[in-house]
């Protein structure tokens, strides 16, 4: 087998994603996943070929700026064709992706996984530090909480800038991603391959961005109001009930301990997960801001920050 870094071809990589995941997407999904630079350059792609030169596995590193730590990479769009599974392709990607991060003066390689995911075991075996997180779901008809009173908000340039500033304030309160401008923020949260919609809570004034993916409303962002709405159990229950009342399932993500504690006080379905950090055992030597200097603590990511 052979490793290729940043090959020019798009079609075989896209074909591998669709064969591995089924209806992963087309050119629009490709451009969003691999063709955007959020202040740290375009994603780096890696491909494993078999002895005949056929592409059998692929993975990418998306680059972000992390508060108080500088450049980090996120493992993105990893796939392995069935015939090549069990041959060590994912472990190869972990090693070489970590090396790319180190060569680019990055702080760590990040990966988001559920606890039951086989990739988590490979990441843990590679020496990754694990930060607890929660994935949250609510299927239609499973929740009895009253729905939030959400009012649609038109997405204007001024409101996009307000959202960007709000996200930046959240990120500087701990370990979060920094987007260099409102355009980059909009590219991550508002201009996605699936439709998105912005709402304001009529009772609290907080804002929420949802992505409509098949039969599920994915909460990408929640913020604003007198306190972070993710600290309140009724926020999570209300947003999920709102989605369910509209005939949609609900999905979200939380990593900050306060947000996870709020989720545990609800009746929502919670799926344990992790943020995996490779190469992050050292303390940061940049200004850590108000949070601890240890990269394993005080994460404040929104669900839409993930790739």
Which CATH class, in words, describes the domain spanning 137-273+300-305?
alpha beta
Q: How many Cα atoms are found within 13 Å in the side-chain-facing hemisphere of 40? A: 22
Distance CA 131, CA 108 (A): 13
Local confidence pLDDT in tens for the 307 residues of the chain = 899 999 999 999 999 999 999 889 999 999 999 999 888 889 999 999 998 889 999 999 999 999 888 899 999 999 999 988 888 999 999 999 999 999 998 999 999 999 999 899 999 999 999 999 999 999 887 777 889 999 999 999 999 999 999 999 999 989 999 999 999 999 999 999 999 999 999 999 999 999 999 999 999 999 998 888 999 999 999 999 999 999 999 999 999 999 999 999 999 999 999 999 998 544 444 444 433 347 888 899 999 999 8
Terminal CA-to-CA distance of the chain, rounded, Å?
A: 27
Is 137-273+300-305 in the same CATH topology as 2-118?
yes
Give the list of residues 6+ apart from residue 169 with CB closer than 8 angstroms, or none: none
Domain boundaries, the chain: 2-118, 137-273+300-305
What pLDDT is recorded for position 205? 93
Give the list of residues 6+ apart from residue 213 with CB closer than 8 angstroms, or none: 194, 251
Instruction: Quickly tell me which residue has 């949250």 as its tokens.
Output: 136
> In 10 A of CB 202, how many CB atoms?
10
What pLDDT is recorded for position 282? 43
Instruction: Quickly tell me which residue has 């996984």 as its tokens.
Output: 113
Distance CA 99, CA 81 (A): 24
What pLDDT is recorded for position 105? 87
Q: Rounded to 5 degrees, what angle do the CA atoms 78, 211, 119 make? A: 25
Distance CA 236, CA 218 (A): 12
What pLDDT is recorded for position 145? 81
What pLDDT is recorded for position 280? 59
Query: Does domain 2-118 correspond to CATH entry 3.30.230.10?
Result: no
Show the 3-state SS of the chain.
CEEEECCCCCHHHHHHHHHHHCCCCCHHHHHHHHCCCCCCCCCEEEEEECCCCCEEEEEEEEEEEECCCEEEEEEEEEEECHHHCCCCHHHHHHHHHHHHHHHCCCCCEEEEEECCCHHHHHHHHCCCEEEEEEEEEECCCCCCCCCCCEEECCCCHHHHHHHHHHHHHHHCCCECEECCCHHHHHHHHCCCCCCEEEEEECCCCCEEEEEEECCEEEEEEEECCCCCHHHCHHHHHHHHHHHHHCCCEEEEEECCHHHHHHHHCCCCEEEEEEEEEECCCCCCCCCCCCCCCCCCCCECCCHHHCC
């Amino acid at each position: 087998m052979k490793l290729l870094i940043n090959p020019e071809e798009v079609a075989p990589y896209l074909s591998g994603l669709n064969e591995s995941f089924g209806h992963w997407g087309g050119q629009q999904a490709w451009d969003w996943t691999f063709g955007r630079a959020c202040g740290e350059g375009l994603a780096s792609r890696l491909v494993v070929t078999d002895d005949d030169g056929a592409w059998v596995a692929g993975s990418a590193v998306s680059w972000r700026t992390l508060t108080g730590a500088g450049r980090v990479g996120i493992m993105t769009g990893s796939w392995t064709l069935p015939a090549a599974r069990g041959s060590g392709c994912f472990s190869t990607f972990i090693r070489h992706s970590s090396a790319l991060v180190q060569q680019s003066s990055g702080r760590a390689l990040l990966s988001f996984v559920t606890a039951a995911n086989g990739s988590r075991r490979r990441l843990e075996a590679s020496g990754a530090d694990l930060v607890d997180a929660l994935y949250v779901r609510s299927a239609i008809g499973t929740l009895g909480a009253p729905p939030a009173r959400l009012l649609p908000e038109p997405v204007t340039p001024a409101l996009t800038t307000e959202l960007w500033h709000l996200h930046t304030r959240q990120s500087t309160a701990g370990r979060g991603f920094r987007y260099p401008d409102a355009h980059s923020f909009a590219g991550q949260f508002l201009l996605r391959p699936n439709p998105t919609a912005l709402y304001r809570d009529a009772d609290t004034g907080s804002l929420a961005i949802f992505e409509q993916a098949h039969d599920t409303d994915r909460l990408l962002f929640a913020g604003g109001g007198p306190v972070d709405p993710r600290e309140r159990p009724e926020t999570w229950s209300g947003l999920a009930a709102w989605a369910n009342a509209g005939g949609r399932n609900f999905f979200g993500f939380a990593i900050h301990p306060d947000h996870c504690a709020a989720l545990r006080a609800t009746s929502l379905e919670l799926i344990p997960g992790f943020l995996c950090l490779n190469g992050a055992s050292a303390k940061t030597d940049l200004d850590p801001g108000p949070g601890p200097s240890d990269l394993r603590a005080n994460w404040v990511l929104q669900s839409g920050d993930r790739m």
